[in-house]
Chains A and B, each alone.
Chain A
Amino acid sequence: MKRNRIFEILPLLNGPMELGQGRNFWILFCLFSLVLFGYALVGSVFSLSNLAIFFAYVPMGLGLGLLWGYGGVLSFGQAAFFGISGYVYGIVAGNLISTPGGTLLAAACGVVGTMTLAAAFGYFVFYGQVSGWIIPLLTLVLSLILETFMGQTAGYQWRVGSVLLGGYNGMTGIPSLNLGSLQFSGATVAYYLLVIGTMLIVYLGLRVLVNSRYGHAVAGVREDPERTRMLGYNVNLIQVQVFTLSAGLAGLSGVLYVSWGNYMNPSSMGLLAATLPVIWTAVGGRNSLIAVLISTVTLRYLADALAVRGGEYAFLILGALLLTTMLFFPTGIVVSLARRWHVWRKRDLRMPSSIPAETNQEREDS
């Protein structure tokens, strides 16, 4: 019985709602995963730690990919949820520092707390059935307000238990995740493996989700909310669920980030931070999870490289990249390239292969 259920998941993994099907893709994917895991054996701790932080942002990017690309809802709130989760983790972990398993509890608190807030926010927005442009505006305002709020929490009177909130200087000395004697702090192989594992699980899990019956309902809400409602789906509930899930993924990234750097500051949920997930998702291609994954890691790397040589140009370049993508590659750069490659291969082999993912991409006319 259990065997059967596992075999039921496999077609969902390879379903049509995501780019990249067939043997070649999966061989590449497995090779790539093996390389990532194998690098842990050969790489220096410094390079592993640097690489790990690029991948730690992937759940946040994928969350927005799910929400915007599959659910049709644009949100600037990912950074806010990232920050909330990091702060909640810091508060709980800092107070339970001597309790065994305290950091795991803190991580759970961070993610669940974030999801609760997102669900409450989503209730007001989605059950009001507001127009599509209201959600990005209100989530942006949420980010700005949270940044201002955390920014003014300097001083001794702003503390929860024994943890100081720290104002603009940020919260420092946050303990890393640990499991018994295993420490997942930034400069460890364990942390690298944790991040890679989390990223792959999130990616594959979302792949199953978008190809499931539920995932088709989510895409249905994006295409035509009214029609989906008439087909008997609870559109408002689905939207709140997807919004909450994407916030939870941002929260996961937040916990991973805090565990890496032992530090959280208000600007991680400010205006510029709120921009980043949107740029990753738009530039990669919001209708494909793998495209978002690739662009998240690439653009994080790019931002890092730019910060080293003249950080003042980073956001100028990112802004220009975003505008160029929106003007010339509305479906995203990675997705456009993948599609061109499909067309080229089809012509080359004269093989009638269908690209079902493409049917989901003609949208945004409503």
Chain B
Amino acid sequence: MPDSKNNDTGLCKEKSFQAFFNTNATLLRNFLYYKYGGIEDIDDIVQDSFIKLWNNCTKVTLETAKSYLFRIAINQSTSLFRHNAVKLKHQKEVKNINHNSTNESPEYILEEKEFMAKLENAISSLPERQREVFLLNRIEKKTYREIAELSGVSVKAIEKLMHKALLKLRIEIENIP
């Protein structure tokens, strides 16, 4: 292992590494979370992937760092994970809006709650690639191109996964009474 602490260019400097960390850590963590679920293991993998990247900072440029980071993380996690349920939270502000609005009946709120439960179940039962792509697009607001770049596949492949994910969610939800 090269002594990267003495290398003062690019990613090795603490400040630039921290900036890189701040822009990418949440995305990587959520990416793994959407894919696999299970918070604790994922946080370890994120940490470890960043340490690995830092220790190898002389071999990586700022441009290649992101895909290198995601590759380390994916390699580490595929061997570790079985399928964990993905648990997502409602956003607080949405709840507040529902409580305060006058034109929504209690029945409506109850129905919405039931629907959200169904939806979360359906999302959990998606195949991991579909879930990862679907949630990156919907929650992280990533474009198909950005998602494609993260996992090194074509935009067309992502579009197909999105389509399949939505189709499967619809079938799942309509089939639950």
Chain A complexes with chain B: no
Which B positions have Cβ atoms within 8 angstroms of A? none
